[in-house]
Chain A
Amino acid sequence: MSTQVLSDTRVLTGRSLRHILRSPDTIITTAVTPIALMLLFVYVFGGAINTGSGESYVNYMLPGILLITIASGVAYTAYRLFLDMQGGIFDRFASMPIARSSVLWAHVLTSLAANMVSVALVIGVALMMGFRTSASLSAWLAVTGILVLFTLALTWVAVIAGLSAKTVDGASAFSYPLIFLPFISSAFVPTSSMPGPVAWFAENQPVTSIVDTIRAMFASESVGNGIWIALAWLVGILLISYAIAIAKYRRKIR
């Protein structure tokens, strides 16, 4: 049974990866907006922002930019899933003797692959803009792990959106607040510069702990307790959105 899940997931992932390879613009589009934001913040606003950390501004804001990249990239998963359901191929798969969960996992793994490519593109541009890190290999692996977790968590949110959407636009609308969240966090400016209630929100929402953790890892600093808060958020969102997505999917295909 479990070998069937693996082989079906592999076949279906191959299918949706092909979709991405045939329209690589989705990966490029995903990377373009964050890169534009990065240029804007570093070369326009950055000079006026005092992060109080002494490091270059591109170093300061890259973690937030990476999260924005992923938050906008997962919208394509909702979009593709919605198109599958509309087009009837979803019903075809559901009426075939294949492992039930493989249809969703294929989309999730494809999202992971596509987002990691987008993230690599953004990091590449950041390096050209002067991003420097002293991170060791293990720190890089840890950063990758956090980004993978973040992608998985948001992709399962995207699966919920894709499964419940009534229109194409509705399928990807969920990602707008997710893209906006890093702006009200420590991603671009220190939370201490914000007025009381906003600062309170910024300090207690998931993005700040994740951004701070990644930033500390890039700077080879101690991550402190922040990493546990970040992991708790990531795993929590992942488990809850996974459970809701699977429940919705079960109801959809009975």
Chain B
Amino acid sequence: MDTTPIFGPALQVRGIEKSFKDLHVLQGVDFDVQAGSIFALLGSNGAGKTTLVRILSTLLSPDAGIATVNGFDVATEPKDVRESISLTGQFAAVDEVLTGRENLVLIAKLRHLKHPGTIADELLARFSLTEAGNRKAGTYSGGMRRRLDISMSLIGNPPIIFLDEPTTGLDPQARLEVWQTIKDLANSGTTVLLTTQYLDEAETLADRIAILHKGVIIQNGTLKELKALLPAAEVEYVEKQPSLEDVFLTLVGEDAAAAPDENTDAATAVPAGKESR
């Protein structure tokens, strides 16, 4: 398998359009993702995030535009694209009837790797699933299932990983676990494209954030750059209440440090900014 180029974008998306009948889901989407970075695609439900991920992972053809993944065109070189990526879809794509270990062995065999059993055991250990390895995945909690799902995506070390709403439906602890997994991934050099509807998730994880709204990218930048867009956020004095998440995590004894506070300010600053104009 080709190694990821150290410089240059791992993903290039230019003018991607996609419609379903009368519904113009994507209306010309452009962005780049640098190799080895975490890129968050932020958008509300129905913004077209999943459609875009499906196009980039060769499950859908775009109506117009060009997308390259690891240098390969999704339209003309889908096989090379599939060699370069792993998709973790919105719903945990694990086989519930098989055990966690069997799931991993299955994917390792389908990737034609040697020693699928060893690979499975290593991943089980890495994702703290060794004990649960011989249980049916259907008995796993939401967080365990997600961890298994993501570990299945890592088999064969694809340079690029798509995570479509990886924490939707997870409880706060499981969410923090998944966040840690994603950080570890990026630290090991994998390029991560993450979609999310949670602002704090993008804020915590992403090197760059793009906001997909009504079929186009309306903003794309680092967290700092995006925050700079909001005028006069600091002149507002807002009584800061702890979020329910802070309370919950404190009560159940989890480390709440990862839960960011800033988006509470940012959210209140938006209407304030508009008023001051």
Contact = CB atoms under 8 A, between A and B. Distances in A.
Interface of A: 4, 7-8, 11-12, 15, 18-19, 22-23, 86-89, 91-98, 253-254
Contacts of B82: 95-97
A88 B110 contact: no
Contacts of A92: 87, 89, 93, 107, 152
Interface of B: 54, 57-61, 79, 82-83, 85-87, 89-98, 102, 106-107, 109-112, 152
A-B pairs with the 10 shortest C-beta distances?
A88-B93, A92-B93, A95-B87, A88-B91, A97-B82, A95-B57, A88-B89, A11-B109, A89-B93, A97-B83
A11 B60 CA distance: 25
27 contacts: A8-B110, A11-B110, A22-B97, A86-B91, A87-B93, A87-B94, A87-B95, A88-B92, A88-B93, A89-B93, A89-B95, A91-B57, A92-B89, A92-B152, A94-B58, A95-B59, A95-B87, A96-B82, A96-B86, A96-B111, A97-B79, A97-B82, A97-B83, A98-B110, A254-B58, A254-B59, A254-B60
Contacts of A97: 79, 82-83, 111
A103 to B, nearest CB: 10
A95 B86 contact: yes
A12 B102 contact: no
Nearest to A99: B110
Contacts of A19: 97
Given A7-B112, A96-B110, A96-B111, A91 B96 contact: no
Contacts, number: 66
Contact of B93 (A4, A7, A11, A91): A91
A148 to B, nearest CB: 26
B136 to A, nearest CB: 8
B106 to A, nearest CB: 6
Contacts of B95: 15, 87, 89
Nearest to A98: B110
B89 A15 contact: no
A96 B156 CA distance: 11
Contacts of B91: 86-88
A18 B106 CA distance: 12
A89 B94 CA distance: 6
B153 to A, nearest CB: 8
B61 A254 contact: yes
A194 B36 CA distance: 74
A208 B183 CA distance: 64
B81 to A, nearest CB: 9
Contacts of A22: 97
Contacts of A91: 54, 57, 59, 87, 89, 93
A185 B112 CA distance: 49
B58 A12 contact: no
A87 B89 CA distance: 10
B85 A95 contact: yes
A95 B58 contact: yes
B59 A253 contact: yes
